Amino acid sequence: MKVNKREKEILLLLDEAHQIRISNLPKSIALTISALDSSSQIGSKPLLAKSYSQLGLYYMVIGEMDKAAVYSKMALIIFTKLRDEKGIADAKYSLAGVYYKTNLYHLGLISFIDALKIYQKVGDYYNQSRTEKSLGTIYGYIGDQSKALKSYNSAIKNARKINDFNLESNAYNNISGILAKKGKLKFAMAFINRSIEQKKITNDIRGMAYALYGKGKVCFYLKEYEKAEELYFKALKIHNETGENTGRAMTYTKLGELYYAKNDLDLALETAFTGLEIATSLKLAMSTIKLKKLVYLIYKAKNEHELALDYFERYQQEKETVINSQTLKVIENYELISKMEVLKNETKLHKEKQLLLEKKNQDEAKAIKMRQDFLSIMSHEIRTPLNAITSIVELLNDEISGEGKELLDSLKFASSNLIKIVNDVLDFTKLDSNKSKLEIAPVQLAKLAKSIVSVYDIQAEEKGLSLKLSCSIPNQNSYDLDETKLTQVLNNLISNAIKFTDKGSVELKINEIKSTPRKDTILFEVNDSGEGISKENLDEIFESFSQVKPILIRKQGGTGLGLAIVKKIIELHNSKIKVKSIVGKGTTFYFKLKVPKKQLIESHLIEEKVVVKNINLKGKKVLIVEDTVINAVLLQKLLAKWEIESEHVENGKIALEKVKENFYDIILMDIHMPDMNGLEVTKIIKTTENLNTKTPVIALTADTMVTSKNYETNHFSGFLWKPFEIDKLRETLERVS
């Protein structure tokens, strides 16, 4: 393409702006605005798009996210019309930076991956490196440290291909942060020092500020507070000089945490408010959340409980706004990339909120009511979108290939992690509020034990462990037990044993130790040859909300509620869970249950194969009553795979009209709906004149508080709790057909 004199001048302006960005970003912006005006005057769309793209990048860097988003989107529109792939990638890169810095991680991930594909296609190693570094940051936020490190290492390799020390040092900075959080402080310091040395070579002033900030974090973890403070102030000085407002907000956050750790509460509060003012003006959701939590903790330490409660409420509101925003965007985009850590401490935070309320007004009854409401709301509001997500995974699994598979894997990782956290929180809260009861039925204990152990065969094999079952209970013996809760206990103990054992074996032992005509006393033991638990931690491992056990929590992650749940379930059986351990040799968890005997079952009946009747669902007519449209659409797609005809209505009022006009083989009824809930609708269907009084109605609910104990549920033929398993859905439909 021939370039005239005026266009050449504009290109030189843009090139100069790009060259000086690492040392004088305000001048870069001024030069680019001048280039934008000139491009507009001569009517050059390529130069106009390039100017918009660079402005989007620069405003993103200094934290003016609204301007960054506008300019990047304008650039993307023009580049798309021009079919300029490289321009499209650059605009998407800037836009992705805006997304993830304002907590829209799923959109950031998608845009970065789109940009990376183009950079790989054109062999642009510079942009591949910086995009992979940004992808690593997002993977770190959602808890996938393995993918984060993989992305950072790839960023380093691409930076070395073009001998770019700046890009290489940026990745070292981020790797240092991951290592510091893992407690590998010697390695973290080595990486951050290497980053700083490279910044000195390249004279990247802005990058040096972030490297100094990174070293300050490592010093903070080492409890070298004076050194950390000195480094933070050096970083802050550069951020102030370069107008790097995002960096200022981040540094004030860490300074506030440092002063809080030193118990200099007044200075911590002053610093936190300074950072909060900057973060709020920039709409930096992550910094705002951290700083509001910090202010709450400072006021709590100062025994100013009313102010503490006020900022606790602000912190929770900000956090929940981010979660709700993420959930809606996830459903719209068929993705789940959101901040997982915000849910990990939900139960602990809820208990703290209860304690603050009790200190303020000593109203224990009100606090308990709030906790129960919280459980019901959290159950419904989180499990409902999770149901959509798990359905989407099932539908997309056979359709996506290539690079899209990696994105789907991230979705599976994130959703599985969130489901585990949510289930732990809900299970514990139900147990803690005495809402959980034993559901007794005859159980063949030996058969159950074999099934439980078989689930973990692959997991143990992957770690090179021997997984054993030693059960002296005869196969034909049957006992009155709560099969689900006993399974939950043994699952928790076996999975923990495998998690914390690197070599050797894990064994489940079940033995009868006392027998009477009516009851047997059975000893359950889970032994491992793992790292063991120190004496000082043995008394704490079953405590709820505890986050001080490095062996059980910090090294491996998780909610920390597994053993607390085990303790509660064993107590429901009027027994106690106990533990004995030797550090470096292994651990044994054990408990006794006194269980009623059922009649002995003949051996040949145990071994007899059961013929499963395969019900043909083709042509069945199903009415779906569901107010969440995305869930209904996905459910219809699943039913269509089984050749089931389905019709969807959004509320109970329309459903009552439909059952008068048409006959349905099955009705799938959501419980939580506006105006009229599913319980009321089902009762009317079953007790008034219409074409479906005999039609089976299956309840669909995300609220684990809905049980026959506290609601009238006798009109239903079955329950499916969201997110439901696809096989469980089919099994239920076949059972009622």
Asked if residue 457 has pLDDT above 80, the reply is: yes
Q: Express each pLDDT in 35-54 by its tens digit.
A: 999 999 999 999 999 999 99
Among candidate residues 516, 509, 448, the one with its CA nearest the CA of residue 482? 448
Mean pLDDT to the nearest integer, 124-151: 86
pLDDT at 30: 93
Q: Do domains 441-607 and 621-736 have the same CATH topology?
A: no
58-61-66-68 Cα dihedral, nearest 10 degrees? 30
Quote the Cα angle for 400-406-408, to 5°. 55
User: Which of 262-268's residues contact partners 24+ apart within 8 Å by CB, and which partners?
Assistant: 262/225, 263/301, 265/298, 265/301, 265/302, 268/294, 268/298
- The lowest-confidence range among 98-112, 247-261, 551-565 is 551-565
256 pLDDT more than 80 = yes
Q: Would you list the domain boundaries of the chain?
A: 1-122, 303-434, 441-607, 621-736
Q: What is the pTM of this model?
A: 0.43
pLDDT tens for 388-442 read: 676 666 666 666 766 676 666 666 656 655 665 566 666 665 665 555 677 788 8
Over range 567-589, report the average pLDDT.
89
Tell which wins on pLDDT, 241 or 329.
Answer: 241
465 alpha carbon, distance to own chain's centre:
29
Q: Which residues sit opposite 581 in a β-bridge?
A: 587
More confident residue, 248 or 347: 248
Mean pLDDT to the nearest integer, 156-165: 93
DSSP state of 597: B
Label residue 344 by pLDDT band (50, 70, 90): very low
Q: Is residue 356 over pLDDT 80? A: no
The 10s digit of each residue's pLDDT in 461-476 is 888 999 999 999 998 8
- Write down the architecture of domain 621-736 according to CATH: 3-Layer(aba) Sandwich (3.40)
- CA of 394: how far to CAs of 259, 398, 510, 625, 635, in Å? 49, 8, 37, 21, 11
With cut-offs at 50, 70 and 90, classify the pLDDT of residue 320: low
Q: Which tokens hold the place of 43?
A: 């009517």
Mean pLDDT of 557-564: 60
Structure tokens at 308: 């503490």
CB contact at 8 A, 560 and 553:
yes
| DSSP alpha helix (H) spans, 162-244 | 165-181, 185-202, 205-221, 225-242
DSSP state string for 494-553: HHHHHHT-SSSEEEEEEEEEEE-SSEEEEEEEEEE-SS---HHHHTTTT-TT----IIII
- pLDDT, tens digit, 9 for 90 and up, residues 685-731: 999 999 999 999 998 876 655 554 444 567 888 888 777 667 778 88
Q: From CA 186, how far away is CA 184, in angstroms rounded?
A: 6
Contacts of residue 596, defined as CB under 8 A and 6 or more positions apart, other chains included, come to: 479, 480, 518, 519
DSSP 434-454: T------EEEEHHHHHHHHHH
- The three-state DSSP-derived secondary structure of 148-182 is HHHHHHHHHHHHHHCCCHHHHHHHHHHHHHHHHHC
Q: What percent of the chain has pLDDT over 70?
A: 77
Is the pLDDT at 323 greater than 70? The verdict is no
- Reply yes or no on whether the pLDDT at 340 is more than 70: no
- For the chain, the residue count is 737
Q: Cβ contacts of residue 433 below 8 Å, gap of 6+?
A: 368, 371, 372, 375
CA distance 173 to 165: 12
* Alpha-carbon distance values, 704 to 373, 375, 428, 486, 721 (Å): 12, 8, 12, 19, 7
Q: Would you say 363 and 357 are in contact if contact means Cβ atoms under 8 Å apart? A: yes
The reported pLDDT for the residue numbered 417 is 52
CATH superfamily of 1-122: Tetratricopeptide repeat domain (1.25.40.10)
Nearest to 293, CA basis, from 335, 346, 244: 346
- pLDDT, tens digit (0-9, with 9 covering 90-100), for 446-456: 998 998 888 78
Phi, psi of 709, deg, nearest 5? -75, -35
Mean pLDDT taken over the chain: 81
The residue type found at 322 is V
Q: What would the two tokens of residue 73 be?
A: 């989107």
CATH of domain 441-607: 3.30.565.10
Distance CA 99, CA 68 (A): 10
Residue of 22 and 591 predicted with greater confidence: 591
pLDDT of amino acid 232: 95
What is the per-residue pLDDT for 435?
A: 58
pLDDT band at 327, cuts 50/70/90? very low
Per residue in 519-539, pLDDT (tens digit) is 999 999 999 999 888 887 776
Q: How far apart are CA 104 and CA 339, in angstroms?
A: 9
pLDDT of residue 554: 38
Specify the pLDDT at position 226. Answer: 95
In a 3-state reduction of DSSP, which class is residue 374?
Answer: helix
Determine the Cα–Cα distance for residues 338 and 103; give it in Å rounded to an integer: 8
**Res. 547: pLDDT tops 90:** no
| pLDDT mean over 600-609 | 42
> Residue 212: is its pLDDT beyond 90?
yes
Q: What is the pLDDT of residue 607?
A: 41
